[in-house]
Amino acid sequence: MAENSTNELLTRIEERRGQFSKGQKRLADYVIENYDKAVFLTAAKLGDVVGVSESTVVRFATQLGYKGYPGFQKALEELVRNKLNSIQRMEVTYGRIAQSEILETVLHSDIEKIKMTMEAIDQNAFDLAIDTILNAKCIYVVGIRSCAPLASFLSFYLNLVCEHVITVNTNSSSEIFEQLIRINEKDVIIGISFPRYSMRTLKALEFASNRKAKVITLTDSVHSPMNLYSSCNLIARSDMASIVDSLVAPLSVINALVVALCMKKQQDVVNTLETLEKIWGEYQVYSGDELNQVNMEIE
């Protein structure tokens, strides 16, 4: 059983309750009733609160099948990840990290997310996503809140490859359905959502699925609710339980999608870029004069 399954910790506790000592049973009861508090505690502090020794806490974690207290604490973090407010989420991840270690810790964490994504992503699903996008008459992209920049980034580059790309603006639920009103079986919708999952994104995917459109999801787990309506699931790890969502791995998957699409339609992309270069030059989108003027002012 995977150690990061949302309900796994509570299941393990119930399955092993008969093997616990009296002190471990008190620990089990406290964790079940107060896991949102226990997640912030060191092994020693948890022992003090419950009235047992630190070694009893460590043995409790090991008996549950975790690699010591750090493995148990990680399972606690997973359990509460979707139940905490933003301030509590930040404390869960960074409360035990010194200020001088934050930069290195965050970068290493992002590296791990990409490594885990590489190991887990389904190549067949990735290939299916490419073919589905290329064969679609119209491509809709939806991402809300912290996922909105990902949706915008993907849409920007899809426009260089495909003819009909629509970024679904999500100021309200009614606006979503108004923009999706013409979606049908010839189209595809790409939904991007990570914890905490967006109900508006889910409703958009449900609406598109009911209209027989193809549905591609980019999310963090096969158990994500976004996959309810999807036949093509792209999984990217993004489980940093902090106030800032880690979107490095999802962005890498998006980059791979764009590169793969460009390779499939190389000549079309070249023609598009040549046309854009002419337009940029004609309308001075990237003006050399302006840059020189700025440089002169700085000098």
HEC profile of 251-265: HHHHHHHHHHHHHHC
Rounded to an integer, what is the distance from CA 29 to the centroid of its chain?
Answer: 32
Spatial separation of the C-alpha atoms in residues 35 and 76, rounded to whole Å: 7
pLDDT range class, residue 170, cuts 50, 70, 90: confident
The model's pTM is 0.66
Q: What percent of the chain has pLDDT over 70?
A: 82
Q: What is the pLDDT of residue 97?
A: 62
Provide the pairing of β-strand 188-192 with 214-219.
parallel
- Bond preceding residue 145 cis, omega within 30 of 0: no
Q: What is the pLDDT of residue 6?
A: 46
pLDDT range class, residue 192, cuts 50, 70, 90: very high
Nearest to 176 by CA among 156, 191, 155, 195: 191
Nearest to 80 by CA among 13, 14, 35: 35
User: Alpha-carbon Rg of the chain, whole angstroms?
Assistant: 24
Which is more confident, 172 or 32? 32
Q: What percent of the chain has pLDDT over 90?
A: 40
Average pLDDT estimate for 223-233: 89
Which is more confident, 91 or 182? 182
- pLDDT tens readout for residues 2-47: 434 446 787 888 888 888 899 999 999 888 877 777 877 888 889 9
Average pLDDT estimate for 268-284: 76
Q: What is the pLDDT of residue 241?
A: 47
- The per-residue pLDDT of the chain, averaged, comes to 83
Spatial separation of the C-alpha atoms in residues 226 and 205, rounded to whole Å: 8
Q: What is the pLDDT of residue 5?
A: 44
Q: What is the pLDDT of residue 91?
A: 56
Nearest to 217 by CA among 190, 196, 239: 190
Q: What is the pLDDT of residue 2?
A: 40
Q: What is the pLDDT of residue 215?
A: 97
- pLDDT tens readout for residues 70-102: 889 888 877 776 555 555 555 555 555 667 777
pLDDT range class, residue 1, cuts 50, 70, 90: very low
